[in-house]
Homo-oligomer: A and B are copies of this chain.
Amino acid sequence: MASVAKNTYHHGDLRQGLIDAAISLISEEGISDLSLRQVARRVGVSHNAPYRHFEDKEALLAAVAEQGFQALGVAMETARQGMSIDASQRLEAIGIAYVKFALAQPFHYRLMFGDYHDNLSKYSALAEAAQQSFMVLVSTIQEGQAAGIFRSANPVDIARVAWSLVHGQSMLALDNKLQIEQGEEFVAFLKFSSQMLLQGLAGHSAT
């Protein structure tokens, strides 16, 4: 008997359906008003069904954050490959793609760094997704070191600095604390930042 779609929805993948509903609700109304019951309502399921797939509300949010890191990693990797082999250009392209991701999905980005995962050992999939996007930075820095255009410090430390810079820019921009209007002026600021970072990154023998 051919399976016919039922209108109860949840014969499929309720877990992913809940995540999708949470993401779209968050992008519409932000995080602070998001309730588990609301997510269940949007999916067409009782307010209690989510507990079959998530231990509590925090676990659902952790899954949403995890998918955010996966998407961010893809955006960074795409930016990296869109550039020629020059590691400086690649690093700048990654940084700009990173901040643009944050600005395009402000609530989702903020959720990825929320304080709801104090015990991140509990959410290992989330930690792993974050680690994976971080590795895009590390490997690009190693490329630059191999090419002799970046100084020879610990590449993980350098990546931490770069990540801190783009994360700080993203968060402060989302908070309207940088006092720069979006558009050309903001992109100019991002390029100024990466130029400063790259100069700090240059090998000692640079001109």
Q: Which residues of A contact B (CB under 8 A)?
A: 30-32, 107, 110, 113, 115-118, 120, 130, 134, 153, 157-158, 160-161, 163-169, 171-172, 174-178, 180, 189, 192-193, 195-202
Top-4 shortest CB links A-B: A168-B168, A200-B200, A164-B168, A196-B200
- Closest B residue by C-beta to A202: B199
By the criterion CB–CB under 8 Å, are B193 and A201 in contact? no
Question: How many angstroms between the C-alpha atoms of A11 and B202 in the bound complex?
Answer: 62
* Residues in chain B near residue A180, CB distance under 8 A: 160
By the criterion CB–CB under 8 Å, are B200 and A115 in contact? no
By the criterion CB–CB under 8 Å, are A160 and B178 in contact? yes
* Residues in chain B near residue A168, CB distance under 8 A: 163-169, 171
Question: How many angstroms between the C-alpha atoms of A118 and B169 in the bound complex?
Answer: 17
By the criterion CB–CB under 8 Å, are A153 and B192 in contact? yes
Q: With A31-B115, A168-B168 as given contacts, are A161 and B193 in contact (CB-CB < 8 Å)? A: yes
**Residue from A116, A161, A168 having most chain B Cβ neighbours under 10 A:** A168
Known: A160-B178, A168-B169. 9 other contacts (CB 8 A): A110-B115, A161-B192, A163-B168, A164-B166, A165-B168, A171-B171, A195-B200, A196-B197, A199-B202
* Residues in chain B near residue A166, CB distance under 8 A: 164, 168
By the criterion CB–CB under 8 Å, are A32 and B176 in contact? no
- Among B30, B134, B171, the residue within 8 A (CB) of A167 is B171
By the criterion CB–CB under 8 Å, are B163 and A165 in contact? no
Report the minimal beta-carbon distance from A99 to chain B, rounded to whole angstroms: 10
